[in-house]
Amino acid sequence: MSFDYNVLVIDPNTQQPIGACDHEQSFERYVVDFNDFRTLHYAQNTALNTRAPINGFDMVRIWIRGEEIQPDDPTYGWSILLDPNRIDAYQTTDVFYKIVFNKAVRLVIPLIEVSYLTTQGYCLKCSGLGVLNDFKPEVGGGFLRITQQAKLAQKGLKWILTSRCAFYPSFVCPLKSYVGKKLGIQLTDTDIQTSVTAALNQMQNVQQAQATVQTTFGGNMDPLEMMKDIQFVTAEIDPNNPTSVQVQAVISTFNGTSVPLSFQMMVNN
Ligand SMILES: [Zn+2]
């Protein structure tokens, strides 16, 4: 048996999401308006005031050149005001705000950074998914370890989605290169299905080769971490969204249990 750190988004056994995102946006860069010297604009697109809706005023923190500025600072104090002119909302109920210095701030290109919480549809941390494919913290403060079937699911998804293996660079899954391609012209759902099946077959071959070596050295591989068969692989275009392909796959372990692997990928149409 061996372990890995858990980076799964969905628990393969319960099919429940794990690792909810807090939608914190960290150190977004802002510039001050050069007419009023008070209103902040998002540095990457100065037509915007804040990039995303602010979810909770208490969580907004601002730094100028690395030094945190409190809202009641006598020189650089700031307020959060309603921004009624914003029109590019994700949902019509979204409310936008702008951050405004209480007094004119005439610094030459100051580095202004803002951290805040936003809502799921605007979150750059989780890309709007609501969950993170990052290390999952455990209660004790370390990272959650993953073993057996869940580890096999994670390994299979890595093999398919990351398209590369440092130890076996010739076994490459082309799936990552399909993202954004035109479905029906450059790519079909069958191509996706074929590449996922090929990647899983390669993983199975590598595991079987590893098992012979590991037995020789006395460390048997856990049958729950070994892939026995591919039960099925399907790739279907979402009937409600022609740019989304839902891929479902189920593999079996040497203990006879089933491990579901599923994910969604975005293409153009
Ligand atoms: Zn998020």
Rounded mean pLDDT, 66-85: 95
pTM assigned to the model? 0.70
The token duo for 16 is: 């429940």
Does residue 199 sit in the same domain as residue 154? yes
pLDDT of res. 268? 80
Q: Which domain holds residue 107?
A: 24-122
Does residue 256 sit in the same domain as residue 163? yes
Q: What is the DSSP string of 193-262?
A: HHHHHHHHHHHHHHHHHHHHHHHHTT-PPPGGGSEEEEEEEEEEEETTEEEEEEEEEEEEETTS-EEEEE
Does residue 113 sit in the same domain as residue 177? no
Q: What angle do CA 268, 125, 47 make, to 5 degrees?
A: 75
Instruction: Reply yes or no on whether the pLDDT at 217 is more than 70.
Output: no
Q: At 227, which CATH number?
A: 3.10.450
Does residue 96 sit in the same domain as residue 196? no
The answer to whether position 230 is within a domain reads yes
Give me ligand 1 centre to Cα 131, in Å: 7
The answer to whether position 64 is within a domain reads yes
Per DSSP, what are the bridge partners of residue 244? Answer: 266
pLDDT of res. 41? 96
- Cβ pair 78, 100 in contact under 8 A: yes
Domain's final residue, options 122, 156, 176: 122
Give me ligand 1 centre to Cα 171, in Å: 33
Does residue 47 sit in the same domain as residue 86? yes
Does residue 107 sit in the same domain as residue 180? no
Give me ligand 1 centre to Cα 83, in Å: 22
The answer to whether position 7 is within a domain reads no
Give me ligand 1 centre to Cα 34, in Å: 32
Does residue 157 sit in the same domain as residue 100? no
Rounded mean pLDDT, 40-47: 95
Domain's final residue, options 122, 157, 179: 122
The answer to whether position 233 is within a domain reads yes
Does residue 247 sit in the same domain as residue 161? yes
CA-CA distance, 220 to 130, in Å (whole number)? 38
pLDDT band at 168 (very low <50, low <70, confident <90, very high): low
Which residue in 23, 24, 76, 81 sits closest to 49, CA to CA?
81
User: For residue range 2-22, what is the model confidence (pLDDT) as tens digits?
Assistant: 788 999 988 877 878 888 899
Rounded mean pLDDT, 74-82: 97
Give me ligand 1 centre to Cα 208, in Å: 38
The answer to whether position 142 is within a domain reads no
Rounded mean pLDDT, 35-40: 95
Distance of CA 12 to the CA centre of its chain: 17
The answer to whether position 132 is within a domain reads no
Does residue 85 sit in the same domain as residue 151? no
Domain's final residue, options 71, 89, 122: 122
Give me ligand 1 centre to Cα 119, in Å: 7
User: For residue range 92-112, what is the model confidence (pLDDT) as tens digits?
Assistant: 788 999 999 999 998 877 899
Which residue in 156, 148, 150, 147 sits closest to 229, CA to CA?
156
Give me ligand 1 centre to Cα 115, in Å: 13
Place of tokens 């996922």: 196
The answer to whether position 3 is within a domain reads no
Q: What is the DSSP string of 132-157?
A: --SPPBPTTSSB-EE-HHHHHHHHHH
Give me ligand 1 centre to Cα 267, in Å: 22
Residues 6+ positions from 89 with CB-CB distance below 8 Å: 96
Give me ligand 1 centre to Cα 94, in Å: 16
Q: How many folded domains does the chain comprise?
A: 2
Does residue 118 sit in the same domain as residue 81? yes
The answer to whether position 12 is within a domain reads no
Rounded mean pLDDT, 240-247: 89
Q: Residues, the chain, total?
A: 269
Give me ligand 1 centre to Cα 98, in Å: 21
> What is the residue type of 4?
D
The token duo for 168 is: 């076996």
Does residue 90 sit in the same domain as residue 182? no
Does residue 118 sit in the same domain as residue 32? yes
pLDDT band at 1 (very low <50, low <70, confident <90, very high): low
